[in-house]
Amino acid sequence: MKLVIERLGHLGDGIARGPDGPVYIPGLLPGEEVEGTLNGDRLIDPRIVTPSPDRKKPPCPHARTCGGCLMQHAADPFVTAWKEGIVKGALAGQGLDAPFRPSHSSPPNSRRRATLAARKTKGGALIGFHARGSDLIIPVPYCHLLHPDLLATLPALEALTRAGGSRSTELALTVTRSLSGPDVSVSGGKELDGALRMDLARIAETHGLARLTWDGETVALRTAPMQRFGKALVAPPPGAFLQATPDGEAALLSAVTEAVGGAKRIADLFAGCGTFALPLSEQAELHAVEGETAMTAALEKGWRATPGLKKLTTETRDLFRRPLEPDELRAFDAVVIDPPRAGAEAQFATLARSAVPVVAAVSCNPVTFARDARLLTAAGFRLDWVQVIDQFRWSAHVELAARFSR
């Protein structure tokens, strides 16, 4: 059967019109003619008859088997337009429109944090990303997504897997590039005992890991794994949120800084360890609110250790259950808000009722962003602009920054 791809789904699948409804075919682009055997809503063994002019050869040798990237077969301008279209579609679903600023994409080999799957084998260890829609682990020694410093940790990750993994269970290895060396957090490993603790400490020392955390417990700390936010140095707690690439973080910070303009008093909501609060405190007084005590403490410690910053206060608070109310927001000239994927409906509702003149929003989910944006625009805010900032190159993940004003 021959089919023509009409559009892409939100997960990057090509979608064609079949005899009984949509047919989903991974790895294809709009306009491509494909043939294969139809099985339900899938095409078995698809073969491209007419390729798209937007098709290119994937740069990574692992692209055909690894599930870590979905769009290496598409030209960069196409991927950018596709991601912008996802955001525009989400906004349109809420009856919204906005000017779009030029998108910004992080370069290849710039990811500073990743979670790899690992399993102990008879001969050693298997480490990589899962194949798409499968539990099969695909080794990725030549990955074009990860920073070279992360790829350089593979021998350490293999040693950790051999020491604390098993052939029957899978480990999740989260490795973060820090200024002090690799910060590694392992989950799903063997239960800690005296012998394993000694092995893990030896591995951390041998391979120069800054910190090693095993199922939530720090078992080795050679040096604090520092990150720089503006002038400040911060040691995030294990598992703390961190923007995926330094390049993407810089682009988001630039957008947020422009959005708040000359504000003198800023509230940073879902502040994390200070990605925005600490650089912004070079020009304005900040009140940083975060739900995790360890992240709030790391932020405050970084601020106290950095001379020349303006006043910064912190508050540990669950903004889903206890959003800042309009009377609390009265003191601020601008609000920065960067919620998780679920969005922040309750907090946006109180922002809508507040007198705050400017909101700088960062989101990693266009659907919840559009839902929350509707609360502000219905209350008299204008959505001034939106910018897609693509830190998750070749994936279906979409991140954005936006400015709202009264």
Residues known to be catalytic: 364
Work out the angle at residue 257's Cα, subtended by the Cα atoms of residues 251 and 263, and round it to the nearest 5 degrees: 170
Residues 97, 108: contact at Cβ < 8 Å? no
Q: Read off the tokens for 290.
A: 């975060």
Q: Cα(52)–Cα(25) distance, rounded to whole angstroms?
A: 15
Sign of CA dihedral 50, 52, 57, 61: negative
Please name the residues in contact with 221: beta carbons below 8 A apart, sequence gap of 6 or more.
210, 211, 212
Which residue is it, tokens 């005590």?
293
Q: Cα(68)–Cα(397) distance, rounded to whole angstroms?
A: 11
Residues 295, 237: contact at Cβ < 8 Å? yes
- Residue 190 CB neighbour total at 10 angstroms: 16
Please name the residues in contact with 252: beta carbons below 8 A apart, sequence gap of 6 or more.
243, 275, 276, 362, 389, 399, 401
Q: Cα(211)–Cα(185) distance, rounded to whole angstroms?
A: 8
Q: Cα(153)–Cα(209) distance, rounded to whole angstroms?
A: 9
Q: Is 271 helix (H, G, I), strand (E, B) or coil?
A: coil
